[in-house]
Amino acid sequence: MYLFKRENGIYYVAYDDKGRTKRVSTGAKLKQDALSFLRNFNEELKRREGEKTAPVSLREFTEQFLRYSETVHTVKTNNAFKVTFGMLERHFGEVKLTDLTTGKLERFFTKRIKEASVYAARRDYINLSSAFNKAVRDKQLTETPCHGIGKIRIPEKLPLFFSPDEFQVLLAVIDKSDIRDLVEFACYTGLRQMELLTLRWEQIRLSDAMLILDNRTHTTKSKRIRTVPLNRKAQDILIRRKQISETEIVFTLKHRPVSQGYITKLFKRYVLRAKLNPTLSFHNLRHTFASWLVQRGVSIYEVSKLLGHSSVNVTAIYAHLQTDNLRESVQKLIEASN
């Protein structure tokens, strides 16, 4: 679909209709007016195409998708989808799924940024993109209305992490040895919280000083199998726990599985008891793992592999910690001027 101008000065829209090129007059001589016509005409074509899809309301689609989500996503991810669809229904009310145009969704995201935050809007964008892609596969939509909406960018934040001294202060206030093992192991491996809480002994290869996240007990964020090397301290923790273990799960509390919610709250309690930055969370142990490595000269590429990031670009947030080589670079200016 494109605009073109005829000799009479009027813009026309040319578009494909089942292999044939059709033309429609915009009635406008100014390009800005013609572009406005094009946007509306594009949505009209989508509406017509939508009539060829299986009719379904937003509420019906929400119920169908959440049932599907329960079978393929974690509880946490499924709850995030519930929040997003709850906001969507509150905003649009009872509408057909095909009524959700790109323009309407753009206004929804703008409102979410103003009334909630850019982080909430970005989460909703990601969730809806995923859900609507499934709707296209199921022939409930001909095209996702998220297509054409630029990905919502969030401001870059420096990762918060524990200093070595702060980490020792934290360990000193943890009065449960099971939890202390979990916290130390998290810092020495960079594993995510659920990767730790679902870790089983069958995934451990102590003779090779490594563990394997194989997506059997918990699907990794990247959905890829990941091998994580174990340093000496991590190995010592596993050897000690193996001697007292009574279950297939590596990290337990009094030999019983631990929930993610319980660990999150308990960890926050220890941070406050240690009188550290109250915004530090369990996830910051992963940031600590990465930050300490970068500060000690490990390349961003290697850190990315250890963290299991889908792209080295994700790991680039730690690049600001690599300052030594930058100091050497600017020092060369003095050498050049002499």
| Residue where a domain stops, chosen among 101, 121, 137 | 137
What's the pLDDT tens digit per position in 82-136?
999 999 999 999 899 988 989 999 999 999 999 999 989 999 999 999 999 999 8
Q: Domain residues for 36?
A: 2-50
* Cα distance between residue 57 and residue 214, in whole Å: 38
Question: Which residues, in sequence order, are CB contacts of 290 under 8 Å at separation 6+?
Answer: 159, 161, 190, 303, 306, 307, 315, 318
Are 210 and 107 contained in the same domain? no
pLDDT in 10s for each residue of the chain, 338 residues: 778 888 888 888 887 766 678 787 887 888 888 888 877 777 766 655 655 566 789 999 999 999 999 998 888 889 999 999 999 999 999 899 988 989 999 999 999 999 999 989 999 999 999 999 999 888 888 889 998 888 888 777 778 999 999 999 999 999 999 999 999 999 999 999 999 999 999 999 999 999 998 866 665 655 678 899 999 999 999 999 999 999 999 999 999 999 999 999 999 999 999 999 999 999 999 999 999 998 888 888 898 988 888 778 777 878 777 665 556 656 666 665 55
Maximum C-alpha span of the chain: 88
Number of neighbours of residue 14 by Cβ within 10 angstroms: 12
Answer whether residue 224 is part of any domain.
yes
Answer whether residue 244 is part of any domain.
yes
Quote the pTM value: 0.63
Answer whether residue 145 is part of any domain.
no
8 A C-beta contact, residue 140 and residue 60: no
- Percent pLDDT > 70 in the chain is 88
Are 266 and 202 contained in the same domain? yes
3-state secondary structure of 4: strand
Confidence at residue 9, expressed as pLDDT on a 0 to 100 scale:
86
Are 179 and 311 contained in the same domain? yes
What's the pLDDT tens digit per position in 43-95?
766 655 655 566 789 999 999 999 999 998 888 889 999 999 999 999 999 89
Confidence at residue 236, expressed as pLDDT on a 0 to 100 scale:
96
Confidence at residue 79, expressed as pLDDT on a 0 to 100 scale:
92
| The total number of structural domains that make up the chain | 3
Q: What is the CATH number of the domain that holds 233?
A: 1.10.443.10
Are 198 and 308 contained in the same domain? yes
Residues 194, 195, 200: CA angle, nearest 5 degrees: 115
